[in-house]
Amino acid sequence: MGSIRWFLIILLVAAVTLGNFSAAVRGYIGSMEIAEDFFDERLEAQVEFIHASLGLALKQSAAQYPLQIAPTIVLNRPLPSRYHIEFQVFHPQFGLVARSEDFPVEALVSWQEGFTEFNYHNIHWRGRIHWDGALGLWYLVAERLDQR
């Protein structure tokens, strides 16, 4: 009779432990999804910032494509320097319009509106691609996944 009692106690403790572990995993997964949504919203905000900054620069100077500028437009970054975010801006006909210092002159992605993931210099990136129909420009803003 004692061994059945011990078996039931051990079974009850195992079931409670398994239930707690399952609840912890579900909570972890839920919080990761919330964090991903937050980081994606931050990418959206960066797209809007670069879009507004570059759009204003293009309208003020009445620039013609391709822009006669240095290959890098330096924008004031609202995030700390340890946060690694990069961008590219392309015109479908004329190619590169602007880029951050660490991104290449060649396009890194196929231009399709939405979120994308890609590798560059053996680093995995998550990016947001935005089409601006008024200016006819594609915007890519990306951040390193290992820093999210």
The residue that leads in pLDDT, 44 or 94, is: 44
pLDDT score for 139: 93
pLDDT score for 59: 66
Q: Which amino acid is present at 78?
A: P
Predicted confidence (pLDDT) per residue in 12-52, tens digit: 999 999 999 999 999 999 999 999 999 999 899 988 888 88
pLDDT score for 1: 59
pLDDT score for 73: 47
Q: Which residues pair with 126 in a beta bridge?
A: 117, 143
Closest CA to 93 of 55, 57, 64: 64
CA angle 11, 13, 17 (to 5 degrees): 115
Predicted confidence (pLDDT) per residue in 138-147, tens digit: 999 999 888 7
The pTM score is 0.70
**Cβ–Cβ under 8 Å, residues 60 and 148:** no
The residue that leads in pLDDT, 57 or 109, is: 109
Q: How far apart are CA 143 and CA 73, in angstroms?
A: 18
The residue that leads in pLDDT, 82 or 22, is: 22
